[in-house]
Structure 1
Amino acid sequence: MFLVTGATGDLGRRIVRLLCDRQKPVRSFVRLTSRYGELEYRGSEIFIGDLQQDKDIHKACQGVKYIISAHGGNGNPAAVDYRSNIELIDRAKEFGVEHFVFISVLGADRGYEDAPTFKAKREVEKYLQASGLNYTILRPSGFASNVLTLAERFRETGIYLLVGDPKNRASIVSTDDLARIAVESVDLPGAKNQIFPVGGPEILERREIPQIFGKIFDQEPFVVNIPLFMFDGVRSAIGLVNPFAKDSLGTLRVLLGNEFFCTSDEIANLESIFNFKLETLEMFLRRYLGV
């Protein structure tokens, strides 16, 4: 039995689908208010609970052989990104879980002090490494499924909003590839007790993304480039009214202001261990957009 947290998110939903397609028993940890009907229809067991409640995590982990932690903080990194994962790890030890897959973030080890999510993920990584459990830690770059939303907006308007330095580089990973890597990590000796940066096969400058959109839709992109200092000004103004909101925007500020890409050697290592070719951003978008 696999337990998947964040099962109705972009990544978690794909993980559950893949497990169901492979006829693996899977328990999806979901909130009562989430849309989990598709997962139930596909054959997943549904566990309705709250990741901020230790008793719910305790119940969800019973009878589980593998855990894939794919949930995000939803604005509360301390409680959800950090505390819930610590509880998951403790219960995994209690119930003899054989392998724990943790979805972290590329750059978690860089010490970004202004990014609560990065700090929480890094502390969970260290706790998991010291736990005695078999683990795989995946540090993905940006999800291609997030870019899909931008592509849909571009198709409607022809406008692309780019905040920050257009030359900043990223290696955006196919969310389907990341789901496959997460699922297959539990069986591959080469993935045992390893940390993997996970990105797409290309290193793209951010200004290249609207060019990909233009190529797909045969439309010249109109790029609006907003300097990062304008974002900083808005964030500071928000902080005067709501300091918590300013802090929560710290992670976004780090994402906008820095580069997040995998080296060619890191990608080659991933493709070798998991034995498949990673999908480019353009290929991912064409599959989902039908163009």
Structure 2
Amino acid sequence: MFLITGATGGLGRRIVRLLREQEMPVRAFVRLMSRYAELEHRGAEIFIGDLQQEKDIKKACQGIQYMIGAHGSDGNAAALDYRANIELIDRAKDIGVKHFVFISVLGADRGYENAPTFKAKREVEKYLQASGLNYTILRPSGFSSNLLPLAEQFRQTGIYLLVGDPKNRTSIISTDDLARIAVNSVSTPAARNQILPVGGPDILKREDIPHIFGRIFNREPIVINPPLLLFDAVRGAFGLFNPNTGKSLGTLRTLLANEFFCTTHEIANVESIFNLKLESLESFLRRYLGV
């Protein structure tokens, strides 16, 4: 039995689908108001709970052999990115889970002090490494599925908002590839007790993304490129009225201000370990956009 947290998210939903296609038993940890009908239809066992409640985590973990932590912070890094994951690891130790797959973030080890999600995920990484559990830590450089809403907006308007340095590099991973890697990590000896940066096969500049959209939809992109200073001003204004919101925007600011890409060696290493050919961002978008 696999326990998947964040099961209705872009990544978690794909992980559940893959496991059910392999006829593996899956328990999907979901919130009551989330959309989980598809997962139930595929034969996943639905556990409705709250990752901020220890009693819910304890119940969800009963009879589990494998865990894949794919949930996000939902704006609350301390509670969800940190405490919930620590509790999941503790429960995994108590019941003798065979393998724990944790979805971290590329750059978690860089010491970004003003990025709550990065700090939380790095502390969870260290806790998991010291736990005695078999683990795989995956550090993706961004999910391709997160660009689908932006692509649909571009389809309608031709406009792309690019905040910050357009020359910053990225290597966005196909969310389908990441799901496959997460699932296969539990049965791939070379992935055991490893931290693996995971990115797409192409190292792109951020300014390349609107041009990919332009090729897909056959229109010239209109790129609006406000400086990062404008974001800082808006963040500061939010912080005056809601300090917690200002702090949470620190993670987004970090993502906008820095480069997040895997090296060609890291990309080749992942392809070798999992015996797959990683999908390009453009290929992923074309598949989902039907173009």
The alignment of Structure 1 onto Structure 2 pairs a total of residues equal to 291
1:92 maps onto 2:88 in alignment: no
Identity of aligned residues (%): 76
**Distance in 2 (alpha carbons) for counterparts of 1:76 and 1:238:** 16
Q: In the TM superposition, what whole-angstrom CA distance separates every residue of 1:48-103 from its partner, at most 9, and x where no partner exists?
A: 00000001100111101100000011011001110000000000011110000000
Q: Counterpart of 2:106 in structure 1: which amino acid?
A: L
**Distance in 2 (alpha carbons) for counterparts of 1:230 and 1:96:** 49
Q: Give the aligned partner of residue 54 of structure 1.
A: 54
Q: Give the aligned partner of residue 79 of structure 2.
A: 79
1:143 maps onto 2:180 in alignment: no
Give the deviation of 1:116 after TM superposition: 0.3
**Distance in 2 (alpha carbons) for counterparts of 1:20 and 1:120:** 30
- Alignment map for 1:1-291 (pairs within 5 Å): 1-291=1-291
User: What SS is found at the alignment partner of 1:80?
Assistant: helix
User: What SS is found at the alignment partner of 1:8?
Assistant: coil
User: What SS is found at the alignment partner of 2:162?
Assistant: strand
**Distance in 1 (alpha carbons) for counterparts of 2:278 and 2:116:** 30
Give the deviation of 1:162 after TM superposition: 0.4
Q: Counterpart of 1:165 in structure 2: which amino acid?
A: D
Q: TM-score, normalised by structure 1?
A: 1.00
**Distance in 2 (alpha carbons) for counterparts of 1:149 and 1:178:** 19
User: What SS is found at the alignment partner of 2:29?
Assistant: strand
5+ residue gaps in structure 2? none
Q: TM-score, normalised by structure 2?
A: 1.00
Q: Counterpart of 1:147 in structure 2: which amino acid?
A: L
**Distance in 2 (alpha carbons) for counterparts of 1:273 and 1:239:** 44
**Distance in 1 (alpha carbons) for counterparts of 2:37 and 2:15:** 15
Give the deviation of 1:149 after TM superposition: 1.1
5+ residue gaps in structure 1? none
Q: Kindly report the root-mean-square deviation, in angstroms, between the aligned alpha carbons of the 2 structures.
A: 0.4
**Distance in 1 (alpha carbons) for counterparts of 2:195 and 2:2:** 20
Give the deviation of 1:148 after TM superposition: 1.1
Q: Counterpart of 2:82 in structure 1: which amino acid?
A: Y
Give the deviation of 1:118 after TM superposition: 0.3
**Distance in 2 (alpha carbons) for counterparts of 1:83 and 1:192:** 24
